Amino acid sequence: MAVPTAPEPFRPASPLFLREPEIRKGVELLYFGYSHLTRAIDEGLAAKGLGRAHHRALYFIARQPGLTVSQLLALLAITKQSLGRVLTELTERGLVEMRPGDRDRRQRLLRLTAEGAALEAALFEALRERLSAAYQSAGQGAVGGFWAVLEGLVPADERAKVAALGR
Amino acid sequence: MAVPTAPEPFRPASPLFLREPEIRKGVELLYFGYSHLTRAIDEGLAAKGLGRAHHRALYFIARQPGLTVSQLLALLAITKQSLGRVLTELTERGLVEMRPGDRDRRQRLLRLTAEGAALEAALFEALRERLSAAYQSAGQGAVGGFWAVLEGLVPADERAKVAALGR
DNA sequence: AGAACAGGTCAACATGGCTGTCCCGACCGC
DNA sequence: GCGGTCGGGACAGCCATGTTGACCTGTTCT
């Protein structure tokens, strides 16, 4: 791939948008776009002494109040221990509270406290600013394409969970 | 109203695609899409005992053979020390080689060895598979929108560096 | 009653960021 | 040609966040 004289792989009928340059462009934009979006909240997080891992938990709890630890674990795709640390810190700081489920008392239903909700909202505002600016500069038509490609990157089974977030 | 204190979001005329649900959808798809794409290479990386940090360096060196350490640093947006560790390991393993610049002999020009290029190509293949499947399922029209939104997330000055990768 | 399950916890470890400090050799402007 | 700046490297140490495996408690289900 580095040398222009290398034997060309000969992909005859592949459409232009599937050639290597287009794939590389997608990989790079995804990397830089994701980086810049996540950086948008670092300052707000640092002011509270929290990290990105805390934000991810806050975000999904805000999104699905009352979800169980298992559900959160499935969304984040990390281990119980990693999540445990984060959740302990968030509850100690009074940002998250957990109550036993009434249907199944083994479960802990997670929700944000008022303070947690306020923090999540403030952080979301930073994300909103950046992403809505991007939506606007790209135009409404582009947004659908943006979603469609990203949905294609998510395996079908997980796609259901993601879609269910917008309950 | 003399006191405009509470910054109530109240965005009356904002188009549908800029409302909170659409922003949340974008945030979530970006998170899950990015996660799944990067996971595509973890197996190949683990087989070589390398991590994602190594891959990012390999990737950009493959993309711009002969780039300097400073340029790579600017792309990755990490510290000299963090990159130093990665680069040392990659050169020790014979995947990357560095030569002094001829215009400025302080510089180290980075390039992949044959072995490094082979590894990068193999890892890229995994990315290509996932992303081209997503491109295909979304359709050619969607890809342009995908790029446009992501470009909007990248600050203007950095956008130039990113675009220059496809030299 | 006993198995399976939700959740928590401990110890130990890996990765990949970070800071601050210091150093060398090369380049450039006066 | 000398002093300042620059490209790059290296030290020590810290922190956040991920991992594993083992084990415990209480609850639910059969």
> pLDDT grade, residue A16 (50/70/90)?
confident
Instruction: State the pLDDT at residue B145.
Output: 97
What is the model's pTM? 0.90
CB contacts of B166 in chain A (<8 Å) are: 21, 24-25
Radius of gyration of chain A (CA): 20
Which amino acid makes up residue B19? R
Round the average pLDDT of chain A to a whole number and report it: 92
CA-CA-CA-CA dihedral for A135, B155, B163, B81, to nearest 10: -130
Chain C bases closer than 7 A to any CB of the protein = 5-12, 15-20, 25-28
Shortest Cα distance, chain A CAs vs residue B139, angstroms? 8
Interval A31-46 mean pLDDT: 96
> pLDDT grade, residue A1 (50/70/90)?
very low
Domain assignments of chain B as residue spans, ordered by start: 37-139
CB atoms within 10 A of CB A6: 10
- Would the CB atoms of B149 and A146 count as touching at under 8 Å? yes
Decide if domain A37-139 falls under CATH 2.70.98.60: no
Shortest Cα distance, chain A CAs vs residue B2, angstroms? 25
> Over 70: is that where the pLDDT of B139 sits?
yes
Contact at 8 Å (CB) between B145 and A144?
yes
> pLDDT grade, residue A2 (50/70/90)?
very low
Instruction: Dump pLDDT digits (tens) for B24-65.
Output: 999 999 999 999 999 999 999 999 999 999 999 999 999 999
- Verify if strand D has an atom below 7 Å from the CB of B85: no
Please report, rounded to whole angstroms, the spatial distance between the CA atom of protein residue B86 and the C1' atom of nucleotide D19. 20
Instruction: Quote the tokens at residue A89.
Output: 């810190």
> Over 70: is that where the pLDDT of B7 sits?
no
Instruction: State the pLDDT at residue B150.
Output: 98
> Over 90: is that where the pLDDT of B6 sits?
no
Nearest to A17 among B37, B135, B155 (CB): B135
Instruction: Quote the tokens at residue A44.
Output: 């707000």
Q: For A14-23, A127-136, B7-16, which range has the lowest pLDDT when averaged over its residues?
A: B7-16
> Over 70: is that where the pLDDT of B132 sits?
yes
